[in-house]
A = this chain, B = another copy of it.
C-alpha cells in the first residue's frame, strides 16, 4: 500500500494529506440545513451534513492530493450516525482515487487488536460472503501495549496490502511527559522508533515499509533524529499549520530521495473559509477556499523541499 501512496505522491508532486476532521462549527449553514431537512435537527442530520461537507471538499481538492486522513473522534462525537458518516467518507474518498488514512489511534491486545485490524483494514466472512467493514488503506496505532498490540495489525497489513502509522512522537506540548523520558540513555520515542523500524521489516512494500510512524511537525529536531533511525519507514507528520509547524521545519522529515514523509493539515484546509486570509470566498464557497489553502500549502511545502 505504501507503494501506491508513493506513486500518487510522485504523480501529483504532493507529499501532503488533508485531515478530514469536521467540527460542527466548520460546517456552513446551507450544508447543515440539507442534513436537517432530511433527518431533523438530530445527530443523524449533522452526520449527513458532515458527509456532504467532506464530499464537497474532496470534490474540490482530490486532483491535488494523494490522500485524506479522517479523524475518527470527529465522527464518534456524533454517535453511531457519525461513524456511519466516517464510513461513507472513506468509501467516497477511495472512489475519487485517494488513499485513506484512518486516524483512529487504536491499540489493544490479541483478539481485540485483531478485531480492530479486521474492522478497519481487513475483511470478515459471513456465511459465504466477504465484507470489508471500514476498509481504510492505512490507520494510526498507539504503541503503549507493545508488540502484542502491533502484530495483529501487521498480519492484516500483509494479507490485505494495507499499512499503519505508529505513534512515535506526537505533536502536542505535553507529549514529552512520557515520550521524552530517558530509558538507558535514550528517550522513549527512540525506543519506539527502533521497534517501528524492526516491525517494519516484516512489512516491506518496495523501498519502504507498510509500517510508518507519526512524528509531530512541531518537533523538527526530533524529526531529523528519527528520520535516521527509521530510514525505510514513512513518517506521517501532523501539526503543520494550526498547531504551529512551518514548511521550513519539514525538510528534516524527508529522506534524500525526496520521499519518506507526508504532511497533514486539517483545520487549515477544511476550515479555510473561516480564516481572514480566505474570507473572499465566503461561506457558500467553502470548498473553493479549501482548494486555495491546499495550493498555498503545496507552494510552502514544495518551496521548502526545493531549497
Residues in chain A within 8 A of chain B (CB atoms): 21, 23-24, 36, 41-43, 45-46, 71, 73-74, 76-80, 82-84, 86-87, 105-113, 115-116, 118-120, 124, 126-127, 129, 131, 133-134, 142-149, 167, 170-179, 181-184, 188, 191-192, 195
A191 → chain B closest CB, angstroms: 7
The 6 A-B residue pairs with the shortest CB-CB distance, nearest first, are: A79-B133, A146-B177, A146-B174, A77-B119, A73-B115, A109-B172
For the complex formed, measure the closest distance between the CB of A260 and the CB atoms of chain B, giving whole angstroms: 23
Q: Which residue, of A172, A175, A183, has the highest number of chain B Cβ atoms within 10 A?
A: A172
Other-chain residue from B76, B184, B192 in contact with A116 (beta carbon distance below 8 A): B76
Contact of A108 among B73, B84, B124, B145 (CB under 8 A): B73
A177 and B120 CA atoms in complex are apart in Å by 25
Also in contact, A76 and B120, with CB within 8 A (given A126-B46, A131-B43): yes
Chain B: which residue is nearest A182 at the CB level?
Answer: B183
Taking a contact as CB atoms under 8 Å apart, the answer to whether B83 and A80 are in contact is yes
| Complex Cα–Cα for A182 and B143 (A) | 17
| CB < 8 Å neighbour of A87 from B80, B111, B126 | B80
Which residues of chain B are within 8 angstroms of A36 by Cβ–Cβ distance? 127
Report the bound CA distance from A127 to B142 in whole Å: 35
A241 to B112, CA, bound (A): 16
By a CB distance below 8 angstroms, the chain B residues around A129 are: 41-42
- B residues within 8 A CB of A24? 124, 126
Chain B residues with Cβ below 8 Å from A43 are 124, 126, 131, 133
Q: Establish whether residues B76 and A146, one from each chain, have CB atoms under 8 Å apart when the complex forms.
A: no
Closest residue of B by beta carbon distance from A125: B24
CB atoms of A145 and B174 under 8 A apart? yes
Q: How far is the CA of A79 from the CA of B91 in the complex (A)?
A: 12
- A107 contacts B179, CB within 8 Å? no
> Could you say which of B80, B108, B133 contacts A105, with CB atoms under 8 Å apart?
B108
Report chain B residues within 8 Å CB of A21. 112
A86 contact set on B, CB distance < 8 A:
80
Q: Are A80 and B84 CB-contacts (below 8 A) given A179-B144, A181-B188?
A: yes
A41 pairs with B126, CB closer than 8 A: yes
The CA of A76 and the CA of B144, in the complex, are separated in Å by 21
